[in-house]
Amino acid sequence: MEKRSDEELTRAAQAGDISAFNDLVRRCRAGIMSELTGLMGNVHDAEDVAQEAFLRGFLKLSTLRAPYNFGGWVRQIARNIARNRLSRDPRFVVLDEQRAIDEYSESVDLDGYDADSQAELALLALSRLSSKLRETARLTYLSSYSQKQVARRLRIPLGTVKRRLWEGRAKMKKEVLNMSRTGRVAKPVTIVPDIRIEELPKERMEISTTGPGLYFGTVLKEGHQEVCRFFDYPGGVLTQTVQTQVVRKVNILGRKCYEVLIEHSDCEPPIPNILDYFNIAAQGFDWVMRVTADEIYPQTRFMKEGEELFPSSYSCGENEEYSARMVDLTVGDKRYGRCLAVLWGWQNDGTPAESFYISDGRQVLHRRYVGPEAPESQNYQYANLKEEERKTFRGKEYRLWYDTVLME
């Protein structure tokens, strides 16, 4: 087979070919390690810098405008990381550079280290961090927020952000080395399952929903429980787990409502528990009230009648409220088969949602997109989502922001 150029490999990697990225890493790794070992003074710090440089290179690959120069580009990333570290911790340079390189080669099996996709292993390692370390690293490395922005978003001091990043990098390095030596392990639940959607353009379906679908309270029946997980892009890393439980029927403002308890976990910063109240009306599921737990006192919001109304049925086609089509859906190892995919909310703030319903009316997957006209938000960066799945609707390109997957 003809050997591909760096430019061909880079373009393939930018299109999602992990093996192409691995080939690029193999080509430039030895030279970068040689320079870093001279800069850092020992192979262990050099390996740490190289690992972070390749991780950053993988995550920011879409920003490389000169695909023929991948090696020089990632080398400059490595130099900048090394210089930043040395500026905080000056040290003497080892004179016998070749001896240090030989020491590195003996301590790490380079062939084995690259074989299982270094970039994917790094993402797996990030996903296994604790919620605090994971979210801090995800926002910094995957979403490209500055450390000051991360501090404001998580409501923590800047020094805490830096400490978490240092601790997270150390744990990621250890995890990646361990996985690369022992062989790839099964993906944990903290990475979004593989979602496969096959269009069924000639088929038609009409479903009657069993609940509003908000936070996957999709079956309004006393005692019903569901668990779902949110995976944010880029990266598809877990950001929260939500359990909903239909507790009881109560009377709110003269309307018979279902009380739904919503509990959050695996999230940083922590999200308080919520009580939602829904009434089943002739027009659909009417959201009546929300009570949010607070450290000092509960916060209660009453909705006007009909203000938040969720349809009780959907059918294939398009109208002013939604657009629905038939698909064949598989999420991870769960094949749902024929589903109705309902796109809605594009009329509001440029962040439409797509809900997937199985034939009995239960929602099993919820996808949220961001459009070019969406207002700025600390929760997403439109330009940063361009390498993820896209959806074009009515002439506008929407980029996938997060997936919510029904787990049980």
- Let me know if residue 231 belongs to a domain: yes
Residue 318 in this model has a pLDDT that exceeds 60: yes
Residue 147 shares a structural domain with residue 232? no
Over residues 251-269, the mean pLDDT reads: 90
Residue 133 shares a structural domain with residue 69? yes
Residue 166 shares a structural domain with residue 201? no
Residue 15 shares a structural domain with residue 125? yes
CA–CA gap between residue 222 and residue 206 (Å, rounded): 25
- Let me know if residue 220 belongs to a domain: yes
- Let me know if residue 203 belongs to a domain: yes
State the total domains in the chain. 2
- Let me know if residue 335 belongs to a domain: yes
- Let me know if residue 188 belongs to a domain: no
Say what angle helices 6-14 and 70-88 make with each other, to 10 degrees. 70
Residue 91 in this model has a pLDDT that exceeds 50: no
pLDDT at 181: 58
Q: Residue with structure tokens 């296994």?
A: 128
Least confident of 8-22, 173-187, 228-242, 356-370: 173-187
Share of the chain above pLDDT 90, in %: 25
Q: How far is CA 268 from CA 58, 146, 232, 239, in A?
A: 25, 17, 13, 8
More confident residue, 113 or 396: 396
Range(s) of the domain holding residue 312 = 196-406
Judged on CB neighbours under 10 Å (0-12, 13-18, 19+), 194 is: exposed
CB 321 within 8 A of CB 314: no
More confident residue, 97 or 149: 149
- Let me know if residue 1 belongs to a domain: no
Arithmetic mean of pLDDT over the chain: 81
Residue 203 shares a structural domain with residue 172? no
Residue 89 shares a structural domain with residue 159? yes
Residue 382's SS3 state is helix
Q: Residue with structure tokens 């978490």?
A: 164
Residue 298 shares a structural domain with residue 200? yes
pLDDT at 165: 85
- Let me know if residue 189 belongs to a domain: no
Domain final residue pick, 154, 182, 210: 182
Residue 344 shares a structural domain with residue 210? yes
Residue 385's SS3 state is helix
- Let me know if residue 190 belongs to a domain: no
pLDDT at 387: 64
* Greatest mean pLDDT range, 43-52, 263-272, 382-391: 263-272
Residue 250 in this model has a pLDDT that exceeds 50: yes
Which residues contact residue 384 at a Cβ distance below 8 angstroms, ignoring those fewer than 6 apart?
Answer: 143, 144, 234
More confident residue, 217 or 342: 342
Over residues 99-114, the mean pLDDT reads: 38
CA–CA gap between residue 52 and residue 46 (Å, rounded): 10
pLDDT at 1: 46
Residue 87 in this model has a pLDDT that exceeds 50: yes
CA–CA gap between residue 147 and residue 163 (Å, rounded): 11
pLDDT at 105: 36
Q: What is the pTM for the complete model shown?
A: 0.72
Residue 156 shares a structural domain with residue 14? yes
Residue 21 shares a structural domain with residue 144? yes
Residue 174 shares a structural domain with residue 223? no
pLDDT at 89: 59
Domain final residue pick, 182, 214, 245: 182
More confident residue, 303 or 196: 196
Domain final residue pick, 126, 156, 182: 182
Least confident of 13-17, 74-78, 285-289, 366-370: 13-17
- pLDDT tier at 46 (50, 70, 90 boundaries)? confident
Residue 163 shares a structural domain with residue 303? no
- Beta-carbon count within 10 A of 312 CB: 18
